[in-house]
Amino acid sequence: MNYQKEAILDRARGALVATAVADALGAGYEFQAPLPDSEPVVFKAKLFDLGEYTDDTAMMVAIARAAKRGNLITELDLVAEEFFEWFKSSPKDIGIQTRKVLKNAKGKTAADLTESATEYLDSHERAAGNGSLMRTAAVALPFLSNPESVGIAADQISSLTHMDLDCREACVIWSKAIRHAILFENFDGIQLAINELPAFRQNYWNEIFDQAESASSPTEFANNGWVIHAIQAAYSAIRLNQTEDPSHLVAGIEAAVRVGNDTDTVAAIAGGLLGARWGYSAIPAKWLKPIHGWPGLKTKDLVNLADEITEPIWL
């Protein structure tokens, strides 16, 4: 294993940039039937321009910008500010739940958002959308030395819009898995994160990942706007295409894009963990070139952002 500075930074960059790449690829196939293997996965202009990333990455960028300005745990207001800054830009696309929570917040602080998110949870039967899981890739980077902090930050940031326990724990599991992949180059962080949940929740999540593990296609989790099917579809795309070389990143992202329905989000979720495992260097150049999105960032800017917020622990 390589614990050198450059290798860890490559994987931290990979978490952010592969999220953006997968999101932008998936955006061309959103709300369609699954894409058959016979058709290639390519960038397509639809609601978004060619290579433009969507709300998933934009909100991840908002979190990264907050991490650049301060501490994601003790200065959660910075994340709220960045979310509102993005919201002000009149995004082309925004999740129903996120829009309502931001719109109905009484003020611009983290407390205002969590209050609004709690009201949403209390008044909607279906409040467990995938909209907080999609933006988690940046959360681990400032806390590489401390999985507990990753969990706390992931939980708090989900709660700004998605208060449901399933959403919060999905963010905790995925963010810890991303941290683990950046440091140790494997996917064991998922199980380790589940083992750290309260005992009564461990069976619940083990069953969810067992189902994903035994699926023969990520398309089995068709209701992927729901956080549970989104995490199962993303994990299934990763597992079914797992190899011991960086081509896994490409195959996993393509499988996630092929899933149908909320393709950009399932792909963004899968992309974050695949990028954390295989690194920026595993992403094909043809995928890097057209990437752009809010607030006027390109691939090199996402790389810089990753470098700026990654905690410097060179083991």
**Token pair of 259, please?**
């899933």
Q: Which residues pair with 298 in a beta bridge?
A: 292
Interacting span for Mg ion (CB under 5 A) from 14-22, 209-217, 263-271, 277-285? 263-271
Nearer to Mg ion, 54 or 219 (CB): 54
Number of residues counted as binding Mg ion (CB under 5 A): 4
Please calculate the CA angle 103-108-109 and round it to the nearest 5 degrees: 125
**Token pair of 278, please?**
């295989």
Q: Which residue is nearest to Mg ion (CB)?
A: 54
Nearer to Mg ion, 136 or 149 (CB): 136
Closest CA to 25 of 247, 265, 304: 265
Query: Does residue 264 bind Mg ion (CB under 5 A)?
Result: yes
**Token pair of 192, please?**
């380790």
What CA–CA distances, in Å, run from 112 to 99, 102, 115, 121, 160?
A: 14, 9, 5, 14, 8
| Site map 207..246 versus Mg ion, x via CB under 5 A | ----------------------------------------
Query: Does residue 136 bind Mg ion (CB under 5 A)?
Result: no
Query: Does residue 55 bind Mg ion (CB under 5 A)?
Result: yes
- C-beta of 55: minimal distance to Mg ion in Å? 4
Nearer to Mg ion, 134 or 150 (CB): 134
Query: Does residue 10 bind Mg ion (CB under 5 A)?
Result: no
Residue 139 near residue 157, CB atoms below 8 Å: yes
Query: Does residue 169 bind Mg ion (CB under 5 A)?
Result: no
Helix (H/G/I), strand (E/B), else coil: 226: strand
What CA–CA distances, in Å, run from 192 to 138, 176, 205?
A: 19, 8, 12
Using CB under 5 A, which of 54, 219, 261, 310 touches Mg ion? 54
Q: Of all helices (H) and strands (E), which one includes residue 111? A: helix 110-123
Nearer to Mg ion, 56 or 155 (CB): 56
Which one-letter amino acid corresponds to residue 183? L
- C-beta of 171: minimal distance to Mg ion in Å? 16
Point out which residues bind Mg ion (CB under 5 A).
Answer: 54-56, 264
